[in-house]
Amino acid sequence: MIKRLLFLFAFIFSSVHLSLAQDEIQLADTLVINGETIIMLGDSVIIMRPDKPVYWKTGGNFNLSIQQVSLTNWAAGGASNMALNTGLNLFANFKKDEKIWDNNLTVNFGFNRQSDREFATRKTNDNFIFISKYGRELTPKWYLSTQIDARTQLLGGYRYFRPSGADRDARQRISDILAPAYIQSSTGLNFKKEYKNNDKVSVIASPFTGRFTIVMDDSLSRAGAFGVIPGETIRAEAGVSLSSATDIQILENIRWKADLNLFSSYERLGNMVVNLNSIISMKVNRYITTRIETVLIYDERVMITRSDDTVGPAIQLQNLINFGIGIDF
């Protein structure tokens, strides 16, 4: 009997204590000030702040590869050389409500040095590309967008050759910073889709495009290089354009990024200026990567001196295979 009374007393005491605790919670005062929830419970104050929305996404990639060959008294022949290639890619993308603003900067530079030749150090890679796009949402996948595409290089470029009858190489300067530079402004419909695995596809078609070819070097301008009128520094064209940007995960450690820009002026509608940049990245681990980079350019106004010494428009192609450090941030 005594055990039953003790059990009943303990049950009643626990029920009363739990009821009082619930009453305390129910009696807590709650305030909402500027989106923050403030809960006052007895002598305690609890502040619950909502998560702040994130409108900007920023990041980038840096890669560096170095190759060195040193030969001393090497019976099989050859020459000591060193090659370096580096690249930096930065992006800053904004999205809020129905507005987007995507910015991307790519800078690449490379050279090789071979000690036993005239002009031992020679540039192998030199690109500066800035693309900025602002858009307003029409539907979840379609935007009305304006894009600025600016391209140039950082250092002078040379054509190396050996004059007839000479025993030493010579060089001719054929490009420089802002010689050429290409600035393209386009407005049109933009299809943009992002997938759950971070794959991205964007295509913008513009019937209203302005393209400016800039040659700020006097000697190149006087020669009418890159399609400008001899003596002029800027050539302006109006036309249509199609631009696309692709970022796709092919396999677990293999990613493909490509940017394609097509432009045709109203003056020569159908004759395309082509700019293609493609990068396949194969990650070995967090810091080691292999990159296969391809750049393809075609512009019928740019006269190329070919290997057979003929001059005329031609497809410009650059292929790079790099194995080295790759850091994402």
Closest CA to 126 of 147, 110, 104: 110
Range of the domain at 39: 2-48
| Most confident of the ranges 18-27, 64-73, 147-156, 311-320 | 147-156
191 and 235 in a single domain? The answer is yes
169 and 266 in a single domain? The answer is yes
Q: State the pLDDT at residue 25.
A: 44
pLDDT digits (tens, 9 = 90+) for 181-229: 999 999 999 999 998 888 999 999 999 999 999 999 999 999 999 999 9
Percent residues over pLDDT 90 in the chain? 67
228 and 322 in a single domain? The answer is yes
3-state secondary structure the chain: CHHHHHHHHHHHHHHHHHHHHHHHHHCCEEEEECCEEEEEECCEEEEECCCCCCCEEEEEEEEEEEEEECCCCCCCCCCCEEEEEEEEEEEEEEEECCEEEEEEEEEEEEEEEECCCCCCEEEEEEEEEEEEEEEEECCCCEEEEEEEEEEECCCCEEEEECCCCCCCCEEEEEEECCECEEEEEEEEEEEEEECCCCCEEEEEEEEEEEEEEECCCHHHHHCCHHHCCCCCCEEEEEEEEEEEEEEEEEECCEEEEEEEEEEEECCCCCCCEEEEEEEEEEECCCCEEEEEEEEEEECCCCCEECCCCCEECCCEEEEEEEEEEEEEC
Q: State the pLDDT at residue 255.
A: 95
14 and 64 in a single domain? The answer is no
108 and 31 in a single domain? The answer is no
Better-predicted residue by pLDDT, 79 or 84: 84
287 and 265 in a single domain? The answer is yes
Amino acid at the residue 273: V
Better-predicted residue by pLDDT, 303 or 14: 303
pLDDT digits (tens, 9 = 90+) for 128-151: 999 999 999 999 999 999 999 999
14 and 138 in a single domain? The answer is no
CATH at 318 = 2.40.230
28 and 119 in a single domain? The answer is no
148 and 297 in a single domain? The answer is yes
Q: State the pLDDT at residue 116.
A: 83
42 and 161 in a single domain? The answer is no
Mean pLDDT to the nearest integer, 93-103: 94
Percent residues over pLDDT 70 in the chain? 85
21 and 133 in a single domain? The answer is no
Q: State the pLDDT at residue 79.
A: 86
Backbone angles phi, psi at 252, to 5 degrees: -55, -40
22 and 141 in a single domain? The answer is no
- Cα–Cα dist 220/217, whole Å: 5
Give the burial string for 274-288 (b: 16+ CB within 10 Å, else e).
ebbbbbbbbbeeeee
Structural domain count of the chain: 2
The answer to whether 88 and 326 are in contact (CB under 8 A) is no
Of the three residues 15, 30, 48, the one that is the final residue of a domain is: 48
pLDDT digits (tens, 9 = 90+) for 229-274: 999 999 999 999 999 999 999 998 999 999 999 999 999 898 999 9
- Cα–Cα dist 261/278, whole Å: 12
